[in-house]
């Protein structure tokens, strides 16, 4: 077995871990940011309504992120 192939496999798996983590971060963060911006700046609601909507969206997105992470970990 070539020692360079082990290092290459390790680098590929490390890069894949970083890419999967970045994908999950985007899946979780982007919907919450978009809903907060839409509610506060486009619909013009006050912060008392905007913050709970952002938090609810964040928890829903975390649920989807959990499902996606299960699928990514199998691969």
Q: What is the DSSP string of 4-58?
A: HHHHHHHHHHHHHHHHHHHHHHHHHHHHHHHHHHIIIIIS---HHHHHHHHHHHH
- Residue 61: the pLDDT is 93
Question: pTM for this one?
Answer: 0.71
- Residue 11: the pLDDT is 62
Cβ atoms within 10 Å of 50's Cβ, excluding its own:
19
Answer for the pair 28, 63: CB distance below 8 angstroms, yes or no.
no
Tally of domains in the chain = 1
Q: Tell me the pLDDT tens digit for each residue of 3-38.
A: 555 555 556 688 888 888 899 999 999 999 999 999
User: Which domain range does residue 61 map to?
Assistant: 3-74
């Amino acid at each position: 077995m070539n020692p360079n192939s082990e290092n290459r496999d390790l680098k590929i798996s490390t890069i894949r871990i970083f890419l999967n983590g970045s994908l999950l971060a985007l899946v979780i963060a982007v919907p919450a940011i978009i809903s907060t911006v839409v509610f506060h700046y486009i619909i013009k609601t006050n912060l008392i309504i905007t913050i709970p909507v952002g938090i609810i969206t964040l928890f829903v997105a975390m649920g989807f992120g959990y499902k996606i992470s299960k699928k990514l970990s199998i691969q």
